Structure 1
Amino acid sequence: MMEQVLNCLVIDDDPDVNAYVCEMVDQIPFLHLAGSYDNAPGALNRLEAGGIGLLVLDINLPGIDGVTFASTLKDLPREYIPRVILISGSRDYAVDGYKVDAVDYLVKPFSYEDFYRAVAKVRTLANVPKTSPADEYLFLKVEHDLIRVNIREICYIESFKDYVKVFTGDQTIIALSTLKAMEERLSGKRFMRVHRSFIVNIDKIEQIQHLTIRFGKTIIPVTEQYREAFKAEFREWL
């Protein structure tokens, strides 16, 4: 079977960096350079036309910055939303990058090897077998790797500074993300925010007693801010 080729857009206002990234894209067999731009709004029409699998996006752009622009991509039709690799001259925006679900974050100057590792992660995501729908899995950023986790196996997620702890039945995964970003990624699934520090999988709850939730030996309180929504979900039992 022929490997999928991903159409790629590059956005960077530095002409030298832009040309450097475009040159690397041209060297990678599973990427096709579909366009390059020096500002984010200029690329919007191309993104709205669909068919873009990867967006290499500088953060420090004139006008709308890269993180803000990446956050608007969710307004595109779902099948038009590309994977994003953010690039910047500073490490200071790394956490912001993962708030917008970027696949990777590269600090300039980066090598071809760094870039290839990042786009290889995008290729992995693009090649998730159709027999295992991507919606049933969550890709978590763990150090320099992407870890695929079956959503149905997640019991609960706990905020941990600039990270989250994802608890499954047999492991704990510490991933680079915020709890807010995880909440958005799990929207529409059987997950519920019950505390400023916790999201729970409703189908994995073992016991509810006096507005506390039990997963094995772990007890999670449902705080006042989330009680009404929680009671509505379990109104037949509470």
Structure 2
Amino acid sequence: MDDLVLTSTIIEDSPFHSNQLAQLIDQNPNLSLKNVYRNGIDAKNHKANEEVDLLFLTVELPLITGFDLIETFKESPKIILVSNTPDHAFRAFDYDITDYLLKPILPARFQKSVDKVLRNAKLNTNNKDEEHFFVKSNSRKVKVNYKDIKWIEALGDYVKLVTEKSNHIVLSSMKAFEERLPNSQFVRIHKSYIINLKRIEKFNNTMVEVEGKKITLSRSRRDSFMSAIGTS
């Protein structure tokens, strides 16, 4: 994992602790600092959760708390919560938090948190070669086998996962969902559709039929689709 570098953002109202985190990030070969925000509103307005791998997020922010900010995210990077007290640690279990750091932040404890994020990032990469993954649908975790997926359809802030047995509505962007799928088996043929290559029944230059459903093949995605067909 030595060559893995995670783009990081700090959301912390204290200049002292913000500078401390920035120094620790700068000294770590697996991290690069992208942005620093002093409050949750600024972070929200600038979409701090997008195009970043890791957030160092303080719970006790002015204006809106760290938890409030997380709830505005449509998609989320890895998050390390930072707090003055352990009192919020139990609540953190309700969110997809990688670790919980207490101030003052000790370098050794910081490194332990970063190592945990790196292990999870490596695991997520490896999981693309496994046979299944889990999604959160209707407030519960659901196991989905890659082979059972027919197609994924965009539904505003959600995606509709159409499988052999049932359908699942998942809070995610199409881009985020596309990134978690093995590209050897799935391809995006339209801004609103990702299909399972193994489920294709017929296709031409403008349409792909998957399990009886005819889906438009976007002109901009035609080359990537044809390439995927040729190598699948």
Q: TM-score range by the shorter chain?
A: 0.5 to 0.7
Shift of 1:159: 0.4
Output the TM-score relative to the length of structure 2. 0.56
Partner of 2:73: 94
The verdict on how the C-alpha distance between 1:59 and 1:194 changes in structure 2, with shifts beyond 3 A counting, is farther
Moved more, 147-156 or 157-166: 147-156
Deviations 1:129-166 (A, max 9, x none): x9xx6222333233544433222322211000000011
- Percent identity over the alignment is 21
Aligned counterparts, 1:8-23, within 5 A: 13-14=12-13
Runs of 5+ unmatched residues, structure 2: 1-9, 32-36, 59-65, 82-86, 100-115
Partner of 1:41: 22
Matched residue count = 181
Question: Does the aligned pair in 2 maintain the 1:58–1:66 contact within 8 Å?
Answer: no
Shift of 1:67: 5.6
Runs of 5+ unmatched residues, structure 1: 1-10, 16-36, 51-56, 74-81
Output the TM-score relative to the length of structure 1. 0.55
Q: 1:188 aligns with which of 170, 183, 187?
A: 183
Aligned counterparts, 1:21-170, within 5 A: 37-38=17-18, 41-45=22-26, 48=29, 60=40, 68=48, 71-73=51-53, 87-90=66-69, 93-95=72-74, 98=75, 100-102=76-78, 112-118=89-95, 134-135=127-128, 136=130, 137-170=132-165
Shift of 1:121: 8.8
RMSD: 4.6
Question: Does the aligned pair in 2 maintain the 1:158–1:199 contact within 8 Å?
Answer: yes
| Equivalent AA in structure 2 for residue 94 of structure 1 | F
Question: Does the aligned pair in 1 maintain the 2:159–2:169 contact within 8 Å?
Answer: yes
Q: 2:77 & 2:182 partners in 1: Cα distance?
A: 14
Question: Does the aligned pair in 2 maintain the 1:13–1:61 contact within 8 Å?
Answer: no
Q: 1:229 & 1:119 partners in 2: Cα distance?
A: 33
Q: 2:222 & 2:198 partners in 1: Cα distance?
A: 18
